[in-house]
Amino acid sequence: MMVKSTKKPKLEHSEFSGEFENDGVTVLVDIFRPAGSQDDWQMEVISQAEIVTSWEEPFATDKDAWEEFLATIERDGIHSFLDDEKPAVH
């Protein structure tokens, strides 16, 4: 008999992951991929109100993901991660 595990796969988190504060707002940036893999990196930004913003397209490197996060802050402002009125997908 085969038993399927419901455990989530272990994730490797980028050194770029962590809290980011700008303009009085703090968000958690999580850049991750399956542990032990060479898969592309995924990115999520989580606000203090637990609004999760995810990017649909993966990133070749964790640095690419971090640079996209910084570009989004520059372009749209950190408050763009607090708006739950629109779908939180980039």
List, run by run, the mean pLDDT of 10-residue segments along the chain (90 residues): 67 97 95 96 95 96 98 95 62
Would you give the end-to-end CA distance of the chain in angstroms? 42
**Does some domain include residue 89?**
no
Q: List % helix, strand, coil for the chain (3-state, nearest 5).
A: 20, 35, 45
pTM (2 decimals)?
0.83
Q: In a 10 Å sphere around its CB, with 0-12 CB exposed, 13-18 middle and 19+ buried, how is residue 33 labelled? A: buried
Which secondary structure element, helix H or strand E, spans residue 76, and what is its range? helix 62-76
In a domain, 37, yes or no: yes
Is 48 part of any domain? yes
What is the reported pLDDT for 87? Answer: 47
Q: Is residue 5 assigned to a domain?
A: no
48, 9, 33, 31: CA torsion to nearest 10? 10
Domain count of the fold of the chain: 1
